[in-house]
Each structure stands twice: as structure tokens, then as C-alpha cells.
Amino acid sequence: MLTYIIRRLLLVPLLLFGVTVLIFAMLQFLTPVERSALYVRDIPKNENAIAGIIKQYGLDRPLYEQYWRWLVGRVDGITGERKGGIMFGDFGYSRTASQPVVDLIRNRFPNTLDLTIWAVAPVILVGIWLGVQAAVHQNGFIDQAARMFSIVGTSFPTFVFGLLMLMLFYANLQWFPPGRISDWANQVVFTDDFRHYTNLLTFDSLLNGRLDIFWDALRHMLMPILTLSYLSWATFLRVTRSSMLETLRMEYVTTARAKGLPERDVIFKHAQPNAMIPVVTLAGFSVVSLLGGVVITETVFNYPGIGQAAANAAAQLDVITVLGFALFNGFILIVSNLVVDVLYAVVDPRVRLS
């Protein structure tokens, strides 16, 4: 097990290097003037000043030198002060948010992480349960209903389902509002009396003993969670059902039944664990998608996560900010894949012995 994990860890630096090279290659589609937004906030209109910035930051130098400066840092030609590269969190300046990209990510990512924590359980667990039930009752009423549910969920565009949620639960019933938090709660959160322990609003409200703020924040997240869950259940249902049906036909399952084991033990102790390999893969990609910011869902419900920030940057052609988010999502993907690989070894001993 330890050897397997070490082998996977040794691949991480190579993958990170590949991500940085890919993002840097995308930067080369920009002109030196546009790339100077990585280093200065306001690009001057004077041509001599622009030429000075390009020369100062080496944007006319060979590609390998530009890559090194972008990666590990650079020296200010005027003050002589060293400024960090992307390895030190300097992703450039966001024109749309009027702040460094790393600060934009730092401000928005806790909201996305908060949504992910509350959405991941219903997204994965309910989807797996539906798939298991459909496989156990193959060709029965439950299976037919689940398959119909899966077809409808797969064919439903995210923005359409989100708008239906807004029409029903906000416009008509006034139950669950969009946004992140109500105005009255927002005024409390940004006072000195409210302490930010984790920067995750739901958890901080509990730690501050403010159940009213916790419920208000949760009410604002219920529609995004429901939208993400319904559209993900369809995929989890199909993958889990297919894997379970294949596992239930295995000889060891037939043997377990022949020994007289209760059907519940046969399904949940013998068949289901061995059917989880493809589901673990799907779960990993689902978590990556949530952490990377679900752009359409956050935009429809005006939820201030990194997905909405990336959509705003793309709409205003703020390429530096978009590529900064792409780099951040690449890091998340690599770490998540490492976690998934470790879970493979936990679920299936054959993986860690290979």
C-alpha cells in the first residue's frame, strides 16, 4: 500500500509541470502587451512606457526564460525587489475584479467549498443508492422508474432545471432565495462580533452559535444543491446499476447465495464493494467539478463562487483571470486524482498489489 502511494506521489510533480507548461503555452497566444497584465495593474497608453514594461519583465526574451520568470518569480527592475511567480501564488491581476487573481480565488473559493461539502453527500450517496436499487430489482418497477429518471435527468440542461427551481421555490413559494446570504445576515457576518474561524459561512455560523445565520445560508444553498444533485443522480444511477449488474453475475455472489447468506449481506457486503471501482472514479470527477466551481449553477442562482467569477471574467474577455482559474483547477484535478488512486487501493486490494 505504501509503495503504491509513493509511486503516485512521484507522479505529482510531473503532472504539475505539465499543467504549468500547458497554461504558459496558452499565454503565448496573447501579445506581450496583454501578457504584461500579469505584472502591472494599469497598462500605460504611452508606447515608450509599454516598451519599457515589456523589456523590464522580459516579455521579449526567449520562451524558456519567460517561463522561468512566470513560474518562480522576477526582479523588479526599478526597486530591485523580488516578486513571486505562480509558485508563490502570483497569478496576475484580475481586471474584472480589480484585485490580484489569487485574492479573488481566496475570497470566492470558500463559498464554492462550502457548497461542495453540503452537496457531495446527496450527490454521491443518493446516486449510488438509486443505482443499487435499480440493479437489485432488475426489470422491475423500481428499475424501470429509475431508468426513466436517469433518462430525464441526463437530457435536462442545467440552466433549464435551475430556472425551474427558481420559478417554483423562489418566485412562487418564496422558500429558497438565490444568492449567498440575506442582507440582514450579511450585516452581522461582517461585524467584529462574528469571528471567521474557517471562512466557510455555514461552519463559522455554527461556531459562533448563530443558528439563524446557519439556516439562512443553508436556505440559499438548497436550490443549487438540488440542481447539482438531480443532474448528477442520473449519471451515478447508470454507472452504479451497470457495475452492480455485472458484479451480481459473478460466481462468488452465486456461491454466497448458495451458502444461505441473507440477501442483504450478499448485496451490501459482497457485491456492492466490488462494484465501486467505476463509481469511485465518477465520484472523484464529481468532486473536482464541484470544487472547480460549477459555472452554470452558480451563475443561475447568483452564488458568489469561483465558477461565477470565472464566468464573469470570460464574459469580459479577462484572459489572465480565466487562465488563473484554469491553473487553479488543474491543481485541484491533480490532487483529486491522487486521492482517487488511493481510494482505488482501499476499495480493491488487487490495485495496490499490481
Name the residue with higher pLDDT: 49 or 225.
225
Residue that is written with C-alpha cell 504558459 in the block: 24
d(CA 180, CA 270): 43
Contact status, residue 92 vs residue 98, Cβ threshold 8 Å = no
Residues 6 or more apart in contact with residue 342 via CB below 8 angstroms: 5, 8
Q: How confident is the model at residue 77 (pLDDT cuts 50, 70, 90)?
A: low
Residues 6 or more apart in contact with residue 252 via CB below 8 angstroms: 270
pLDDT (average), residues 308-326: 85
pLDDT cut 70: percent of the chain above it: 90
Q: Which of 239, 300, 249 is nearest to 270 (CA)?
A: 249
Q: How confident is the model at residue 66 (pLDDT cuts 50, 70, 90)?
A: confident
State the cell numbers at 344: 482505488
Q: How confident is the model at residue 43 (pLDDT cuts 50, 70, 90)?
A: low
pLDDT (average), residues 17-42: 78
Question: Tell me: the pLDDT tens digits for 261-315?
Answer: 787 878 877 777 777 778 887 888 788 778 876 888 888 888 888 888 888 888 8
pLDDT (average), residues 329-346: 80
Provide the 3-class DSSP secondary structure of residue 250.
coil
State the cell numbers at 319: 484572459
d(CA 44, CA 282): 48
d(CA 288, CA 18): 18
- Give pairs for 67-76: CB < 8 Å, separation 24+: 67/20, 67/21, 67/24, 70/24, 70/27, 70/38, 71/20, 71/24, 74/39
d(CA 321, CA 84): 17
- Domain 99-353 class? mainly alpha
pLDDT (average), residues 223-228: 87
Q: Please report the pLDDT score of residue 214 as a whole number.
A: 92
SS in 3 state form for 8-20? HHHHHHHHHHHHH
d(CA 241, CA 130): 8
Q: Please report the pLDDT score of residue 82 as a whole number.
A: 47
Inform me whether the pLDDT recorded for 54 exceeds 80. Answer: no
Contact status, residue 85 vs residue 71, Cβ threshold 8 Å = yes
State the cell numbers at 67: 517561463
**Where are the domain boundaries for CATH 1.10.3720.10 in the chain?**
99-353
Question: Tell me: the pLDDT tens digits for 159-218?
Answer: 888 888 888 888 888 888 888 888 888 888 888 888 888 888 889 899 888 898 899 999
